[in-house]
Structure 1
Amino acid sequence: MHRRLRVILGKKSLVISTTCSEFCSYSKFDLNYADDLGCTHFHVACEYGWEDVVQKFLELGQDPNLLVQRTGNSPLYLALSHNKREVSRLLLKHGADPNVANKDGRTALHVLGENYWNSPNMEMIFELKKKLKPGQVDARDKLGNTPLHLAVPSHSTNAKLVVQALLQIGSNPNVANDEGLTPMHIICKRRCNDGLWELFWNISDDMKQPVSLDVRDKLGNTPLHYALKYKNLDMIELLLRNGADPNTVDEEGLTPLHIISKNDIFCYWARIFTNKEFHPLMQIDARDKLGRTPLQLAVANLLPNMSELWKRLSVYK
């Protein structure tokens, strides 16, 4: 057997035959060589998209769910990770289980959620849904992230299409990861609004899974806190217009008004927070855990224009 090419599979490597044709010379299942990490020729064929080779292995009785021992990656996981769609479909046809998680807790759907740099694999998301067990749409990895968590950080058009598909197959927009972050928290950490918010909001509403806007993460931050901290200007107004609470406090006792008192984009904050539609219930004298009001923070941060904001707010109280 020729073993002239070293291929890298994550943190593992396997010396294999140079060409696909050399694989095709195998006629027995027990010639499926495995290295000391448990990575086999079958795994490599799946990763490289050698459909004929994969078909031959399966015909000879190869288990389509054989895991790489070191990582727990399944053949389906490897094929999807490298956007090998035909091999992925072939594996599913022969009984590959998309519910299997690797040692990082990631499933096939996590792969599709994260690999948004590839052409969007919308059809495969819907194909996997047919074989998912109840609740597996929101399967969590070891960090508590669902496939939806992995898809929302990107600004790419492909990622938006993946988010759309995940929501349409029933992904819960309110699941929190181990840090307490929901997909909406992550969206609000982005510095621009490229339409993902509207897509996220509208589809979730259509699927009768409305987005929770005041969920707090492990640090007490709501999506509005993050939109302010990351100066995501469009999101601030969108959140307030859709009912986000302007008085929620984080673990330091900071409200949104405390946060804007640390920033220098006064004109924008003033326009939003003095709007009669938003401010009636704002607690402009709320104190953080150190006893500081927003005004005191503004003075401490040398933002004299903030006094004008308080004047405008007091007019409407």
Structure 2
Amino acid sequence: MNDGDAESFFNSCKCGDLSQVKELITKKPELIKETHPEDGNTPLHVACIDADQKREIIELLLAHKADPNVPNNDGNTPLCVLCDCGTTDLKIIDLLLSAGADINVSNSKEGYTPLMFATQKYKNYDVVHYLVGAGASPHPKSHMGDTALHLACRVNDENTIWLLIEEDANPNEKNNAGNTPFHELCKGGNTKAFEILMDANADPNLTNEDGKTPLDIAKAHQQSHLVAWLRNHEFGRSLSVPLQVRRKRQNNNNNHSSGVVMMVGMVAVAVAAAVSYYFKFKRDK
């Protein structure tokens, strides 16, 4: 980038000046391929920062063949930048994907995919749901060994946790520190999120590289309400029973209760019949 037009083009994409972007792109179409010397961002990267007010600019850049898969110096593509900046505009995501953006690309800095960037944002369910529906995988791991489920548990987003579990995310996957998503949740989660992991057969007895269980983590982070909840639910014992076994036991209990009720009913009918026969016998005499 060695001229004033290029600098103006980047500034216009950053500030959302659509008319200036149109003017410059008509004057010098090659500006689309410029990269900033400081961070390696293209104009499309810049437009994807705080993008919700710049949809028309992004659409214009893509219409002029801006490449959605060019990485910047951190290895982030425009889709990574978009998800990292917390967009809520699903149409912009669709524009990038329709232009050929790789939905499962990982950056070079953290090893994050667009889905990982989205899941680390609290209450970002709609974006996560859209990405998953478009083919984003919950299984890739970052350079630290985190999956998208680790990140969702870290920000205590129960809706996203549920969604990732529905997409077969592994609740017992360990990161480089040996922490499972359960460990991450115990740093400050809520009991509803615990129940989601419990029903997905998360193992509460797994230890991390320091030999700590999720309960140990809850204690270390002074999460007294979580410690109490875990103890009340016999954490480390009953919760380690697989979900299907717990359901079978529950069904057996229900069946047993139904059998008892049916037996009592039969006895009551028999007693009523005996009483009726007794009085009929007395009348006949």
TM-score, normalised with respect to structure 1 = 0.66
How far residue 88 of structure 1 moved from its aligned partner, in angstroms, is: 0.7
Residue by residue over 1:175-219, the C-alpha shift from the partner in whole angstroms, topping out at 9 and shown as x without a partner, is 1111111111111123463x22223334x2xxxxx2111111111
Q: Which of the numbers 15, 23, 27 marks the counterpart of 1:60?
A: 27
Q: Secondary structure at the match of 2:81?
A: helix
Q: Which of the numbers 122, 126, 133 marks the counterpart of 1:155?
A: 122
Aligned pair count reads 236
Cα contact 2:150–2:180 (8 A) shared by 1: yes
How far residue 222 of structure 1 moved from its aligned partner, in angstroms, is: 0.4
For 1:151 and 1:41, locate their aligned partners in 2 and report how far apart those are by CA, in whole Å. 30
Q: Which of the numbers 174, 177, 196 marks the counterpart of 2:142?
A: 177
Alignment CA distance shift 1:279-1:65 (3 Å): same
Alignment CA distance shift 1:105-1:170 (3 Å): same
Q: AA paired with 2:211? A: G
Q: Secondary structure at the match of 2:9?
A: helix
Alignment CA distance shift 1:177-1:239 (3 Å): same
Q: Secondary structure at the match of 2:100?
A: coil
Match status 1:199 vs 2:163: yes
Cα contact 2:103–2:135 (8 A) shared by 1: no
Residue by residue over 1:22-80, the C-alpha shift from the partner in whole angstroms, topping out at 9 and shown as x without a partner, is xxxxxxxx9x516xxxx611111222222232223222342212111221111111112
Match of 2:229 in 1: 268
Cα contact 2:186–2:215 (8 A) shared by 1: no
Match of 1:107 in 2: 77
For 1:280 and 1:139, locate their aligned partners in 2 and report how far apart those are by CA, in whole Å. 36
Cα contact 1:192–1:233 (8 A) shared by 2: no
Match status 1:228 vs 2:186: yes
**Structure possessing the higher radius of gyration over alpha carbons:** 2
Q: Percent of aligned pairs with the same residue?
A: 28
TM-score, normalised with respect to structure 2 = 0.73
How far residue 251 of structure 1 moved from its aligned partner, in angstroms, is: 0.4
Match status 1:126 vs 2:94: yes
For 1:237 and 1:273, locate their aligned partners in 2 and report how far apart those are by CA, in whole Å. 13
Q: Secondary structure at the match of 2:144?
A: coil
Q: Secondary structure at the match of 1:237?
A: helix
Alignment CA distance shift 1:60-1:232 (3 Å): same
Comparing both structures, which one devotes a greater share of its residues to helix? 2
Match status 1:214 vs 2:172: yes
Match of 1:90 in 2: 60
For 1:184 and 1:223, locate their aligned partners in 2 and report how far apart those are by CA, in whole Å. 6
For 2:16 and 2:217, locate their aligned partners in 1 and report how far apart those are by CA, in whole Å. 51
Q: Secondary structure at the match of 2:39?
A: coil
How far residue 144 of structure 1 moved from its aligned partner, in angstroms, is: 1.2
Match of 1:278 in 2: 239
How far residue 224 of structure 1 moved from its aligned partner, in angstroms, is: 0.9
Alignment CA distance shift 1:256-1:227 (3 Å): same
Alignment CA distance shift 1:245-1:73 (3 Å): same
Match of 1:138 in 2: 105
Match of 2:15 in 1: 48
Cα contact 2:165–2:171 (8 A) shared by 1: no
Q: AA paired with 1:237? A: E
Match of 1:241 in 2: 199
Cα contact 1:73–1:102 (8 A) shared by 2: yes
Residue by residue over 1:209-262, the C-alpha shift from the partner in whole angstroms, topping out at 9 and shown as x without a partner, is x21111111110000111123243222221111111222221012233544565
Residue by residue over 1:76-128, the C-alpha shift from the partner in whole angstroms, topping out at 9 and shown as x without a partner, is 11112142111110010000001011112111111221222x5x120111121
Q: AA paired with 2:232? A: R
Q: Which of the numbers 147, 166, 178 marks the counterpart of 2:131?
A: 166
Q: Unaligned regions of 5+ residues in structure 2, if any? A: 243-285
Q: Which of the numbers 210, 214, 233 marks the counterpart of 1:252?
A: 210
